[in-house]
């Protein structure tokens, strides 16, 4: 019994020590104590000659200790025992590499590849060993031979694509990623992410060229999908739509891809392509299609935005658009389902066709439609109040704003209505009441409303404190109302009157700034830029100068195609804001800095 316990205790201790050896060896290796690590690794692989990992660690220790002769003897001994173990030849090649014997190293690496078994795991292990040693060319050769041995050209295509990516060879990377996609469509999203991350816009023609070549001889729809995706990355929605239309027809789909692309194009203000996409669904898919009704609605909305946002349209363009809206509403009615269309048509009538009576009538009918949710009804009331304000019906307007304010007291729609009510008072010359409301709205949860309220509060305070009368600011507020109504010529006339009657008034920078905004609304970018520049140069110490610099930078970046000048203006704007903030601590300056 005693001898049995002694044997059992000795065996248990041996097991514990053997379990501890790898951890201790790894710790020595991590600390750079290669002598100690080598002794332990040698003990481990001598106990288990099949464990290539610890043998590889032993070889690495020997190389770090520059014990090249001992390392070579050990390697030759192991190779003699197991000539088909390809990893041993890689270790042998590493020995030659460490000694600067490049040709001998390459021979060993090639031997490893030549001896590779026709087995997926064997190929992967060898290629991974080459990759971990940064021997990418040999890793590529291993995968290529593995594909040949397994008689599957796409088996390792993704791995090859990754290796070429690491080498910076975009052309080969794309080739093998496409091979991988051809073999496994489930990799589409992964490949899109990798391409987007590793390719600049200038590199995309490489991808597109290869896709065009493949599409001519390969019916894989994933290539068409990826080609369309590549155009979307470049914001070339027109080319993407051409591919999606072809794919939709080939696969007999319901138009989902085309509809989503049209939405993306509309969001990017490419209204022509969006219209083309929606019309494809309307004309090709017919009224029974699930996207038909939405496409009919969105195509009209895109036509409206294309016309009205450009401010470059004729009365005939507006009337054609109006007729299309009316035709749609005659077919589907004025109610809950068509509410967004009614709102858009009412805007068209009020702001562009100058038919306020019709705009009011449309929204009046809609407001009485059954089933409208409370948010939509509130939006109808706010827009209707805007139209009444444009007609000069102040009391009707303020009544509607007040109703929404009351019903949505703590919600953003209520804050919007409260702000518009305060601005109505500002337009009409009730500046003190308006300022009190703006002061409250400075705490709005909407950053836009909060900033605008702060701006108007400070603007009123600055101009009322200097004057015994409010004549000048009254004229200016009236001009702003005309701009709100898109009555630009009348606004210019009122501003001219203000400039002539109050030539010394501090509103001169505001007059110029508002004129620049009008020109920008008219899409006359050059005139707007000149006026913004004039504001910044003539009134550098005023807040409008900061606003003008920022607006000018936006113009150069998005409209006048001079990004470097835009960057310079932004830097100048930020410097000016910080300088004023440090010098005066003015809350308006802080507000402008926050807005930026």
pLDDT for 138-168, tens place per residue? 999 999 999 999 999 999 999 999 999 999 9
In terms of C-beta density within 10 A (0-12 exposed, 13-18 middle, 19 or more buried), how is residue 486 classed?
middle
**CB of 143 closer than 8 Å to CB of 123:** yes
**CB of 576 closer than 8 Å to CB of 543:** no
Give percent of the chain with pLDDT exceeding 90: 60
Tokens of 589: 């300056």
Tokens of 209: 């060229």
Tokens of 175: 């080739």
Average pLDDT over residues 296-317: 83
pLDDT for 417-448, tens place per residue? 999 999 999 998 999 999 999 999 998 888 89
Cα dist. 33→36, 61, 532 in Å? Answer: 6, 9, 69
Q: 135 φ, ψ to 5°?
A: -100, 70
pLDDT for 546-586, tens place per residue? 889 899 998 888 778 888 888 888 887 776 666 555 555 55
Whole-number pLDDT of residue 158: 95
**CB of 569 closer than 8 Å to CB of 552:** yes
Average pLDDT over residues 44-66: 80
Smallest CA-to-CA distance from 305 within 259, 348, 360 is with 348
Whole-number pLDDT of residue 78: 84
pLDDT for 165-212, tens place per residue? 999 999 999 999 999 999 888 899 999 999 999 999 999 999 999 999
Three-state DSSP state, 444: coil
Under CATH, what is the fold of the domain 512-596? 1.25.40
Q: Is 529's pLDDT higher than 50?
A: yes
Mean pLDDT of the chain: 87
pLDDT band at 5 (very low <50, low <70, confident <90, very high): very low
What are the extents of the domains in the chain?
512-596
pTM over 0.75: no
Whole-number pLDDT of residue 596: 43
Round to whole Å and give the CA distance between 306 and 90. 65
Q: Is 375's pLDDT higher than 90?
A: yes
Greatest pairwise CA separation for the chain in angstroms: 120
Whole-number pLDDT of residue 203: 92
pLDDT band at 272 (very low <50, low <70, confident <90, very high): very high
Number of residues that make up the chain = 596
Average pLDDT over residues 222-236: 95
Number of neighbours of residue 531 by Cβ within 10 angstroms? 24
Q: Is 74's pLDDT higher than 90?
A: no
Whole-number pLDDT of residue 585: 54
**CB of 480 closer than 8 Å to CB of 506:** no
Whole-number pLDDT of residue 594: 42
Q: Which residue has the tokens 């600011």?
A: 473
Q: Is 18's pLDDT higher than 50?
A: no
Round to whole Å and give the CA distance between 48 and 42. 10
Q: Which residue has the tokens 């080969």?
A: 172
Give percent of the chain with pLDDT exceeding 70: 91
Q: Is 391's pLDDT higher than 60?
A: yes
Round to whole Å and give the CA distance between 498 and 534. 18
Q: Is 14's pLDDT higher than 60?
A: no
**Which string of DSSP letters, residue by residue, matches 24-74?**
HHHHHHHTT-HHHHHHHHHHHHHH-TT-HHHHHHHHHHHHHTT-HHHHHHH
Q: Is 389's pLDDT higher than 50?
A: yes
Tokens of 192: 């899109």
């Amino acid at each position: 019994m005693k001898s049995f316990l002694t044997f059992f205790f000795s065996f248990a201790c041996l097991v514990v020590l053997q379990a501890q050896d790898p951890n201790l060896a790894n710790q020595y290796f991590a600390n750079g104590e290669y002598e100690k690590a080598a002794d332990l690794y040698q003990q481990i692989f001598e106990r288990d000659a099949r464990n290539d990992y610890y043998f590889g660690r032993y070889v690495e220790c020997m190389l770090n200790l520059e014990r090249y002769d001992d390392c070579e003897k050990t390697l030759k001994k192991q190779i003699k025992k197991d000539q088909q173990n390809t990893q041993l030849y890689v270790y042998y090649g590493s020995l030659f590499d460490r000694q600067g014997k490049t040709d001998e190293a390459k021979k060993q690496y090639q031997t490893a590849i030549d001896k590779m078994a026709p087995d997926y795991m064997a190929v992967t292990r060898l290629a991974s060993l080459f990759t971990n040693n940064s021997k990418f060319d040999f890793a590529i050769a291993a995968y290529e031979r593995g594909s040949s041995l397994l008689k599957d050209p796409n088996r390792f295509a993704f791995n090859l694509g990754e290796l070429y990516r690491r080498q910076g060879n975009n052309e080969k990377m794309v080739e093998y990623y496409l091979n991988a996609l051809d073999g496994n469509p489930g990799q589409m999203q992964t490949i899109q992410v990798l391409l987007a991350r590793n390719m600049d816009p200038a590199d995309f023609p490489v991808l597109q060229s290869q896709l065009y070549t493949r599409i001519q001889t390969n019916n894989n729809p994933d290539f068409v999908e990826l080609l369309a995706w590549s155009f979307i990355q470049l914001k070339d929605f027109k080319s993407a739509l051409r591919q999606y239309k072809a794919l939709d027809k080939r696969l007999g789909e319901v138009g989902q891809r085309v509809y989503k692309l049209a939405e993306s194009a509309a969001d990017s203000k490419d209204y022509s392509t969006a219209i083309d996409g929606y019309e494809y669904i309307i004309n090709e898919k017919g009224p029974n299609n699930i996207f038909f009704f939405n496409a009919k609605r969105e195509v009209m909305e895109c036509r409206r935005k294309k016309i009205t946002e450009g401010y470059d349209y004729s009365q005939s363009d507006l009337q054609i658009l109006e007729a299309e809206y009316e035709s749609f509403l005659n077919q589907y009615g004025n109610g809950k389902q068509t509410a967004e269309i009614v709102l858009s048509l009412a805007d068209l009538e009020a702001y562009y066709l100058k038919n306020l009576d019709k705009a009011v009538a449309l929204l009046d009918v809609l407001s009485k439609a059954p089933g409208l949710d409370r948010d939509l009804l509130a939006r109808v009331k706010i827009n209707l109040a805007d139209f009444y304000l444009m007609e000069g019906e102040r009391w009707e307007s303020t009544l509607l704003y007040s109703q929404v304010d009351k019903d949505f007291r703590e919600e953003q729609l209520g804050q919007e209505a409260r702000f518009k009510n305060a601005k109505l008072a500002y337009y009409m010359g009730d500046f003190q009441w308006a300022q009190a409301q703006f002061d409250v709205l400075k705490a709005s949860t909407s950053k836009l409303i909060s900033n605008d309220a702060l701006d108007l509060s400070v603007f009123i305070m600055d101009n009322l404190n200097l004057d015994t009368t409010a004549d000048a600011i009254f004229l200016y507020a009236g001009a702003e109302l005309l701009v709100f109504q898109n009555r630009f010529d009348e606004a210019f006339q009122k501003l001219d009157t203000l400039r002539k009657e109050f030539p010394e008034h501090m509103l001169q920078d505001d007059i110029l700034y508002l004129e620049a905004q009008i020109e920008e609304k008219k899409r006359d970018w050059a005139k707007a830029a000149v006026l913004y520049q004039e504001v910044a140069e003539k009134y550098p110490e005023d807040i409008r100068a900061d606003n003008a610099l920022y607006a000018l930078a936006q113009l150069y970046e998005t409209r006048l195609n001079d990004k470097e000048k835009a960057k310079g203006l932004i830097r100048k704007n930020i410097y000016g804001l910080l300088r004023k903030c440090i010098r005066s601590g003015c809350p308006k300056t802080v507000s402008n800095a926050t807005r930026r």
